[in-house]
Homo-oligomer: A and B are copies of this chain.
Amino acid sequence: MQRTDKHSIITSEYAVYFNTLAFQALNEHLKKIAYSKIFILVDENTKRHCLPLFFQAVSGSKSMQIIEIVSGEANKNISTCLNVWNTLSDFDADRKSLLINLGGGVITDLGGFVASTFKRGIKFINIPSTLLAMVDASVGGKTGVDLGALKNQIGVINQPEMVLIVTDFLSTLEPRQLQSGFAEMLKHGLILDPQYWKILNKVSDFNGLDESIHKSVQIKNHVVMKDPTELNLRKVLNFGHTLGHAIESYFLDSESHELLLHGEAIAIGMVMEAYLSYKLTGLPENELTEITTSFVGRYGKVEFLNDDIKQILSLLKFDKKNSHGNINFVLLETIGSPKIDVRVPENLLVEAFAYYAEQ
Protein backbone atom coordinates (compact mmCIF):
# COMPACT_ATOMS: atom_id res chain seq x y z
CA MET A 1 0.00 0.00 0.00
CA GLN A 2 1.33 3.43 -1.01
CA ARG A 3 1.55 5.88 1.88
CA THR A 4 1.47 9.63 1.34
CA ASP A 5 2.89 12.09 3.84
CA LYS A 6 0.31 14.70 3.05
CA HIS A 7 1.36 18.10 4.29
CA SER A 8 0.68 18.78 7.94
CA ILE A 9 -2.37 20.73 9.09
CA ILE A 10 -1.17 23.34 11.54
CA THR A 11 -3.45 25.66 13.49
CA SER A 12 -2.79 28.12 16.26
CA GLU A 13 -3.82 25.53 18.83
CA TYR A 14 -2.42 22.22 17.64
CA ALA A 15 -1.03 20.43 14.62
CA VAL A 16 -1.98 17.27 12.75
CA TYR A 17 0.95 15.36 11.24
CA PHE A 18 0.69 12.53 8.75
CA ASN A 19 2.65 9.27 8.43
CA THR A 20 6.45 9.62 8.48
CA LEU A 21 6.11 13.32 9.29
CA ALA A 22 4.14 12.27 12.34
CA PHE A 23 6.86 10.48 14.29
CA GLN A 24 9.40 13.03 13.14
CA ALA A 25 7.24 15.75 14.71
CA LEU A 26 6.77 13.70 17.87
CA ASN A 27 10.49 13.08 18.24
CA GLU A 28 11.25 16.77 17.80
CA HIS A 29 8.55 17.69 20.29
CA LEU A 30 9.88 15.28 22.91
CA LYS A 31 13.37 16.64 22.38
CA LYS A 32 12.14 20.21 22.83
CA ILE A 33 9.80 19.85 25.81
CA ALA A 34 11.21 18.46 29.03
CA TYR A 35 8.23 16.42 30.23
CA SER A 36 8.77 15.10 33.74
CA LYS A 37 7.16 11.77 32.85
CA ILE A 38 5.53 10.28 29.77
CA PHE A 39 2.54 7.95 29.97
CA ILE A 40 1.01 6.07 27.09
CA LEU A 41 -2.61 4.94 27.23
CA VAL A 42 -3.48 1.79 25.27
CA ASP A 43 -6.02 -1.02 25.26
CA GLU A 44 -5.23 -4.70 24.77
CA ASN A 45 -5.55 -4.29 20.98
CA THR A 46 -3.38 -1.25 20.48
CA LYS A 47 -0.87 -2.60 22.98
CA ARG A 48 -0.46 -5.65 20.75
CA HIS A 49 -0.84 -4.16 17.29
CA CYS A 50 0.29 -0.53 17.51
CA LEU A 51 2.68 -0.18 20.42
CA PRO A 52 5.57 -2.09 18.75
CA LEU A 53 5.50 0.22 15.71
CA PHE A 54 5.21 3.21 18.02
CA PHE A 55 8.26 2.23 20.08
CA GLN A 56 10.24 1.55 16.90
CA ALA A 57 9.49 5.02 15.61
CA VAL A 58 10.13 6.95 18.80
CA SER A 59 13.79 7.81 18.99
CA GLY A 60 15.99 8.42 21.97
CA SER A 61 15.88 6.71 25.31
CA LYS A 62 12.66 8.21 26.65
CA SER A 63 11.18 5.88 29.21
CA MET A 64 7.43 5.68 29.07
CA GLN A 65 4.93 4.19 31.45
CA ILE A 66 2.22 2.12 29.75
CA ILE A 67 -1.32 2.37 31.11
CA GLU A 68 -3.68 -0.28 29.76
CA ILE A 69 -7.46 -0.19 29.85
CA VAL A 70 -9.98 -2.68 28.47
CA SER A 71 -11.20 -1.83 24.96
CA GLY A 72 -14.80 -1.05 24.10
CA GLU A 73 -17.40 1.69 24.45
CA ALA A 74 -18.81 -0.06 27.55
CA ASN A 75 -15.63 0.93 29.42
CA LYS A 76 -15.74 4.57 28.38
CA ASN A 77 -16.94 5.67 31.78
CA ILE A 78 -15.93 7.44 34.98
CA SER A 79 -14.91 4.19 36.61
CA THR A 80 -12.21 3.66 33.96
CA CYS A 81 -11.18 7.31 34.41
CA LEU A 82 -10.73 6.68 38.14
CA ASN A 83 -8.41 3.77 37.34
CA VAL A 84 -6.32 5.91 35.01
CA TRP A 85 -6.25 8.90 37.40
CA ASN A 86 -5.14 6.60 40.21
CA THR A 87 -2.47 4.99 38.05
CA LEU A 88 -1.14 8.42 37.09
CA SER A 89 -1.01 9.31 40.79
CA ASP A 90 0.63 6.03 41.76
CA PHE A 91 3.35 6.59 39.19
CA ASP A 92 3.94 10.16 40.38
CA ALA A 93 2.56 11.95 37.34
CA ASP A 94 2.75 15.70 37.92
CA ARG A 95 1.65 18.82 36.09
CA LYS A 96 4.52 18.60 33.64
CA SER A 97 3.77 15.02 32.64
CA LEU A 98 2.46 14.02 29.21
CA LEU A 99 -0.23 11.50 28.30
CA ILE A 100 -0.07 9.94 24.83
CA ASN A 101 -3.37 8.37 23.77
CA LEU A 102 -2.75 5.49 21.35
CA GLY A 103 -6.01 3.94 20.22
CA GLY A 104 -9.48 4.41 18.86
CA GLY A 105 -12.10 6.95 19.87
CA VAL A 106 -12.59 5.47 23.33
CA ILE A 107 -8.89 5.93 24.11
CA THR A 108 -8.62 9.44 22.63
CA ASP A 109 -11.91 10.66 24.17
CA LEU A 110 -11.30 9.15 27.60
CA GLY A 111 -7.56 9.84 27.63
CA GLY A 112 -8.16 13.45 26.61
CA PHE A 113 -10.65 13.87 29.45
CA VAL A 114 -8.38 12.21 32.01
CA ALA A 115 -5.46 14.43 30.97
CA SER A 116 -7.59 17.59 30.90
CA THR A 117 -8.74 17.01 34.46
CA PHE A 118 -5.69 15.45 36.13
CA LYS A 119 -4.24 18.11 38.46
CA ARG A 120 -6.42 20.57 36.52
CA GLY A 121 -4.88 19.63 33.22
CA ILE A 122 -1.75 17.99 31.84
CA LYS A 123 -0.71 17.93 28.16
CA PHE A 124 -1.80 15.12 25.86
CA ILE A 125 -1.12 13.87 22.34
CA ASN A 126 -3.56 11.81 20.26
CA ILE A 127 -2.41 8.96 18.03
CA PRO A 128 -5.63 7.54 16.58
CA SER A 129 -5.37 3.90 15.55
CA THR A 130 -8.77 3.50 13.87
CA LEU A 131 -10.17 5.19 10.80
CA LEU A 132 -13.00 6.59 12.90
CA ALA A 133 -10.63 8.17 15.39
CA MET A 134 -8.39 9.53 12.62
CA VAL A 135 -11.12 11.41 10.79
CA ASP A 136 -13.30 12.26 13.77
CA ALA A 137 -12.53 11.71 17.44
CA SER A 138 -8.88 12.73 17.51
CA VAL A 139 -9.39 16.17 15.98
CA GLY A 140 -11.48 18.95 17.47
CA GLY A 141 -10.83 18.76 21.19
CA LYS A 142 -14.00 17.04 22.30
CA THR A 143 -13.06 14.81 25.21
CA GLY A 144 -15.30 12.82 27.47
CA VAL A 145 -16.94 9.66 28.70
CA ASP A 146 -20.43 8.19 28.83
CA LEU A 147 -22.81 8.42 31.79
CA GLY A 148 -24.78 5.18 31.86
CA ALA A 149 -26.35 4.82 28.43
CA LEU A 150 -25.86 8.49 27.63
CA LYS A 151 -22.92 9.05 25.33
CA ASN A 152 -20.30 11.70 26.07
CA GLN A 153 -22.35 13.34 28.82
CA ILE A 154 -19.27 14.11 30.89
CA GLY A 155 -16.35 15.87 29.28
CA VAL A 156 -14.58 19.08 28.39
CA ILE A 157 -13.39 20.74 25.22
CA ASN A 158 -9.60 20.85 25.25
CA GLN A 159 -7.09 20.58 22.43
CA PRO A 160 -4.25 18.04 22.31
CA GLU A 161 -0.67 19.20 21.80
CA MET A 162 -0.62 17.39 18.48
CA VAL A 163 -2.41 14.66 16.55
CA LEU A 164 -0.41 12.03 14.69
CA ILE A 165 -2.12 10.22 11.85
CA VAL A 166 -0.26 7.06 10.92
CA THR A 167 -2.27 5.22 8.29
CA ASP A 168 -0.12 2.08 8.66
CA PHE A 169 -2.17 1.36 11.79
CA LEU A 170 -5.23 0.81 9.59
CA SER A 171 -3.83 -2.45 8.25
CA THR A 172 -4.50 -4.03 11.67
CA LEU A 173 -8.23 -3.28 11.51
CA GLU A 174 -11.18 -5.49 10.56
CA PRO A 175 -13.04 -4.35 7.41
CA ARG A 176 -16.10 -3.68 9.57
CA GLN A 177 -14.13 -1.16 11.65
CA LEU A 178 -12.92 0.57 8.50
CA GLN A 179 -16.48 0.82 7.16
CA SER A 180 -17.53 2.35 10.47
CA GLY A 181 -14.97 5.13 10.18
CA PHE A 182 -15.82 5.61 6.53
CA ALA A 183 -19.35 6.71 7.54
CA GLU A 184 -17.91 9.86 9.14
CA MET A 185 -16.00 10.60 5.94
CA LEU A 186 -19.19 10.24 3.90
CA LYS A 187 -20.77 12.67 6.34
CA HIS A 188 -18.02 15.22 5.68
CA GLY A 189 -18.93 15.06 2.00
CA LEU A 190 -22.66 15.33 2.67
CA ILE A 191 -22.42 18.39 4.87
CA LEU A 192 -19.75 20.43 3.12
CA ASP A 193 -18.42 19.02 -0.14
CA PRO A 194 -20.64 17.38 -2.82
CA GLN A 195 -17.56 16.65 -4.93
CA TYR A 196 -15.92 14.73 -2.08
CA TRP A 197 -19.18 12.84 -1.45
CA LYS A 198 -19.12 11.69 -5.10
CA ILE A 199 -15.49 10.58 -4.90
CA LEU A 200 -16.05 8.61 -1.70
CA ASN A 201 -19.03 6.81 -3.15
CA LYS A 202 -16.72 5.24 -5.73
CA VAL A 203 -14.44 3.78 -3.03
CA SER A 204 -14.82 0.03 -2.81
CA ASP A 205 -11.61 -1.09 -1.10
CA PHE A 206 -9.78 0.71 1.66
CA ASN A 207 -6.26 0.68 0.35
CA GLY A 208 -4.99 4.08 -0.63
CA LEU A 209 -7.34 6.10 1.53
CA ASP A 210 -4.60 8.53 2.57
CA GLU A 211 -5.74 11.41 0.37
CA SER A 212 -9.30 11.12 1.58
CA ILE A 213 -8.29 10.88 5.22
CA HIS A 214 -6.33 14.07 4.78
CA LYS A 215 -9.33 15.71 3.13
CA SER A 216 -11.65 14.65 5.96
CA VAL A 217 -9.28 15.92 8.64
CA GLN A 218 -9.07 19.21 6.73
CA ILE A 219 -12.85 19.53 6.61
CA LYS A 220 -13.32 18.68 10.27
CA ASN A 221 -10.47 20.94 11.28
CA HIS A 222 -11.82 23.85 9.26
CA VAL A 223 -15.17 23.52 11.02
CA VAL A 224 -13.90 23.15 14.59
CA MET A 225 -11.38 25.95 14.31
CA LYS A 226 -14.13 28.35 13.22
CA ASP A 227 -16.34 27.32 16.12
CA PRO A 228 -14.51 25.29 18.77
CA THR A 229 -17.30 25.35 21.36
CA GLU A 230 -20.13 24.47 18.98
CA LEU A 231 -22.16 27.64 19.08
CA ASN A 232 -23.07 27.48 15.40
CA LEU A 233 -21.08 26.10 12.48
CA ARG A 234 -19.67 23.13 14.37
CA LYS A 235 -23.18 21.79 14.82
CA VAL A 236 -23.13 20.68 11.16
CA LEU A 237 -20.84 17.83 12.20
CA ASN A 238 -23.82 16.40 14.06
CA PHE A 239 -25.65 15.48 10.86
CA GLY A 240 -26.89 11.92 11.35
CA HIS A 241 -25.82 11.96 14.97
CA THR A 242 -29.00 13.05 16.72
CA LEU A 243 -30.84 9.87 15.79
CA GLY A 244 -27.56 7.98 15.31
CA HIS A 245 -26.39 8.55 18.90
CA ALA A 246 -29.73 7.52 20.34
CA ILE A 247 -29.69 4.34 18.26
CA GLU A 248 -26.09 3.62 19.27
CA SER A 249 -26.81 4.20 22.98
CA TYR A 250 -29.91 2.02 22.85
CA PHE A 251 -28.09 -0.89 21.20
CA LEU A 252 -25.15 -0.52 23.60
CA ASP A 253 -27.43 -0.79 26.60
CA SER A 254 -29.74 -3.48 25.29
CA GLU A 255 -28.91 -7.12 25.93
CA SER A 256 -31.11 -8.43 23.14
CA HIS A 257 -29.37 -6.45 20.37
CA GLU A 258 -25.94 -7.02 18.94
CA LEU A 259 -23.54 -4.13 19.19
CA LEU A 260 -23.73 -1.45 16.50
CA LEU A 261 -20.49 0.34 15.72
CA HIS A 262 -20.59 4.14 15.83
CA GLY A 263 -20.38 4.52 12.05
CA GLU A 264 -23.06 1.89 11.52
CA ALA A 265 -25.40 3.76 13.85
CA ILE A 266 -24.83 7.16 12.27
CA ALA A 267 -25.21 5.64 8.80
CA ILE A 268 -28.78 4.76 9.84
CA GLY A 269 -29.10 8.21 11.41
CA MET A 270 -28.02 9.86 8.15
CA VAL A 271 -30.63 7.97 6.11
CA MET A 272 -33.37 8.96 8.55
CA GLU A 273 -32.18 12.56 8.82
CA ALA A 274 -31.97 12.76 5.03
CA TYR A 275 -35.63 11.76 5.04
CA LEU A 276 -36.37 14.54 7.56
CA SER A 277 -34.43 16.91 5.30
CA TYR A 278 -36.60 15.90 2.36
CA LYS A 279 -39.72 16.62 4.43
CA LEU A 280 -38.58 19.82 6.16
CA THR A 281 -35.68 21.56 4.45
CA GLY A 282 -36.25 20.86 0.77
CA LEU A 283 -33.67 18.13 0.12
CA PRO A 284 -34.49 17.02 -3.45
CA GLU A 285 -36.01 13.55 -3.73
CA ASN A 286 -33.22 12.30 -6.00
CA GLU A 287 -30.61 13.30 -3.41
CA LEU A 288 -32.56 11.52 -0.69
CA THR A 289 -32.57 8.41 -2.86
CA GLU A 290 -28.85 8.77 -3.59
CA ILE A 291 -28.03 9.05 0.12
CA THR A 292 -30.31 6.15 1.08
CA THR A 293 -28.95 3.87 -1.64
CA SER A 294 -25.38 4.67 -0.69
CA PHE A 295 -25.76 3.90 3.02
CA VAL A 296 -28.10 0.93 2.77
CA GLY A 297 -25.88 -0.54 0.06
CA ARG A 298 -22.76 -0.13 2.14
CA TYR A 299 -24.04 -0.86 5.66
CA GLY A 300 -27.06 -3.11 5.11
CA LYS A 301 -30.13 -2.71 7.27
CA VAL A 302 -31.06 -3.10 10.92
CA GLU A 303 -34.56 -4.05 12.04
CA PHE A 304 -36.34 -1.93 14.64
CA LEU A 305 -39.38 -3.18 16.53
CA ASN A 306 -42.02 -0.70 17.69
CA ASP A 307 -40.76 -0.98 21.24
CA ASP A 308 -37.19 -0.25 20.09
CA ILE A 309 -38.37 2.91 18.34
CA LYS A 310 -40.23 4.08 21.41
CA GLN A 311 -37.20 3.66 23.63
CA ILE A 312 -34.83 5.25 21.13
CA LEU A 313 -37.06 8.32 20.90
CA SER A 314 -37.13 8.62 24.67
CA LEU A 315 -33.31 8.60 24.72
CA LEU A 316 -33.28 11.45 22.19
CA LYS A 317 -34.20 14.11 24.69
CA PHE A 318 -30.96 13.50 26.55
CA ASP A 319 -28.88 14.34 23.53
CA LYS A 320 -26.42 17.09 24.39
CA LYS A 321 -27.54 19.05 21.34
CA ASN A 322 -31.01 19.56 22.75
CA SER A 323 -32.00 22.44 24.94
CA HIS A 324 -35.18 23.81 26.41
CA GLY A 325 -36.78 20.40 25.79
CA ASN A 326 -36.73 20.79 22.00
CA ILE A 327 -35.09 18.25 19.76
CA ASN A 328 -32.91 20.09 17.29
CA PHE A 329 -31.52 18.53 14.15
CA VAL A 330 -28.95 19.43 11.54
CA LEU A 331 -30.65 18.77 8.23
CA LEU A 332 -29.65 19.21 4.59
CA GLU A 333 -31.09 21.67 2.09
CA THR A 334 -29.06 19.95 -0.61
CA ILE A 335 -26.00 17.72 -0.43
CA GLY A 336 -23.26 20.08 0.78
CA SER A 337 -25.64 22.65 2.35
CA PRO A 338 -26.60 21.91 5.94
CA LYS A 339 -29.10 23.84 8.05
CA ILE A 340 -28.69 23.84 11.84
CA ASP A 341 -31.22 24.04 14.68
CA VAL A 342 -34.20 22.58 12.82
CA ARG A 343 -37.02 21.50 15.13
CA VAL A 344 -38.63 18.26 14.15
CA PRO A 345 -42.10 17.20 15.31
CA GLU A 346 -42.20 13.77 16.94
CA ASN A 347 -44.56 12.20 14.37
CA LEU A 348 -42.00 12.85 11.63
CA LEU A 349 -39.43 10.92 13.64
CA VAL A 350 -41.70 7.89 13.65
CA GLU A 351 -42.16 8.38 9.88
CA ALA A 352 -38.38 8.44 9.42
CA PHE A 353 -38.12 4.99 11.03
CA ALA A 354 -40.90 3.80 8.71
CA TYR A 355 -39.07 5.22 5.67
CA TYR A 356 -35.89 3.40 6.68
CA ALA A 357 -37.83 0.15 7.19
CA GLU A 358 -39.21 0.33 3.64
CA GLN A 359 -35.78 0.30 2.01
Q: Give A residues with C-beta under 8 Å from B.
A: 34, 36, 78, 81-82, 85-86, 89, 92, 94-97, 113, 116-121, 142, 144, 147-148, 150, 152-157, 229, 317-318, 320-325
Contact = CB atoms under 8 A, between A and B. Distances in A.
A113 B152 CA distance: 16
Contact of A153 (B34, B119, B144): B119
A225 to B, nearest CB: 17
Specify which of A34, A81, A92, A154 lies most central, judged by the most chain B CB atoms within 10 Å of its CB: A154
B155 A95 contact: no
Contacts of A97: 323
A202 to B, nearest CB: 36
Contacts of A82: 78, 147
A51 B147 CA distance: 29
29 contacts: A34-B324, A36-B323, A36-B325, A78-B78, A78-B81, A85-B147, A85-B153, A86-B147, A86-B148, A89-B148, A89-B150, A89-B318, A92-B317, A92-B318, A92-B325, A94-B320, A94-B323, A95-B320, A95-B323, A96-B324, A116-B156, A117-B144, A117-B155, A118-B153, A119-B155, A120-B142, A120-B144, A120-B155, A121-B156
Specify which of A34, A82, A94, A320 lies most central, judged by the most chain B CB atoms within 10 Å of its CB: A94
Contacts of A92: 317-318, 325
Contacts of A142: 120
A156 B156 contact: yes
Nearest to A120: B155
Contacts of A81: 78
Contacts of A85: 147, 153-154
Contacts of A113: 117
Specify which of A92, A96, A117, A322 lies most central, judged by the most chain B CB atoms within 10 Å of its CB: A117
A148 B325 CA distance: 37
A55 B144 CA distance: 35
Contact of A36 (B89, B119, B324): B324
Nearest to A145: B117
B154 A117 contact: yes
Contacts of A148: 86, 89
Nearest to A97: B323
